[in-house]
Homo-oligomer: A and B are copies of this chain.
Amino acid sequence: MNALINKFKEYGNLSPEIEEELNNYVKCKTRQKGDFFLKQGQIVSSLFVIETGLVRAYYIKDNREVNSWFGFENIILGSAFPVFYDKPSYENIQFLEPSTYYYITSKDLNDLYKRFPKMNTIGRKIAEEICVILEERIGSLQTENAEQRYHSLLKFQPDAIQRISLGHIASYLGITQETLSRIRRK
């Protein structure tokens, strides 16, 4: 009943030994809407899976918030710079709904990677899957207009429209909220 460990298992077998270690490392927390999972500049971070709830990742550019992704339930989530590189995060991760999540710190994860080489298979597959998802998003931004991108989002993350404000979605799509409002009117 540990959403993060269950998720790991989808990417590869866990020996009883590794699973036991994971049970020591993985913690669960509950946070309110508006709370932060991660703030820009932080180096210490975690990989996490939301059991119930929702987050957004965003960064500031030219004094504006830019939403880089949304994190729904049962998806492996994290910020690349702190988790992959032990470097300060350029993005913030904020809960958009009251949320319960399971997490493991990058430090502990790297510890597992070192002690159990097989764990790297799972880490590799997770990163590879993220590559494919990011490529999909690049294709959408590179070749589609605002309306088509909105419909791509509807298709891949239909929940988003119900649960996330129009302004946040517009930012994620790389358009203004006025434009998105006009698209939606149709």
Contact = CB atoms under 8 A, between A and B. Distances in A.
A123 B135 CA distance: 18
Nearest to A137: B138
A83 to B, nearest CB: 8
Contacts of A128: 80, 84-85, 127
Nearest to A175: B142
Contacts of A118: 117, 120
A139 B120 CA distance: 28
Contacts of A163: none
A174 B132 contact: no
Nearest to A120: B120
Contact of A131 (B113, B130, B139, B142): B130
Contact of A84 (B113, B131, B139, B174): B131
A81 interface: yes
Q: How many of chain A's residues touch chain B, expressed as a range? A: 20 to 34
A134 interface: yes
B174 A131 contact: no
Contacts of A131: 80, 84, 127, 130-131, 134
Most buried by B among A80, A85, A120, A139: A120
Nearest to A85: B132
Contact of A134 (B85, B120, B121, B138): B138
B135 A68 contact: yes
A50 interface: no
Interface of A: 61, 66, 68, 80-81, 84-85, 113, 117-118, 120-121, 123-124, 127-132, 134-135, 137-139, 141-143, 172-174
User: What are the 5 A-B residue pairs with the smallest beta carbon separation, nearest first?
Assistant: A127-B127, A120-B120, A117-B117, A141-B141, A124-B124
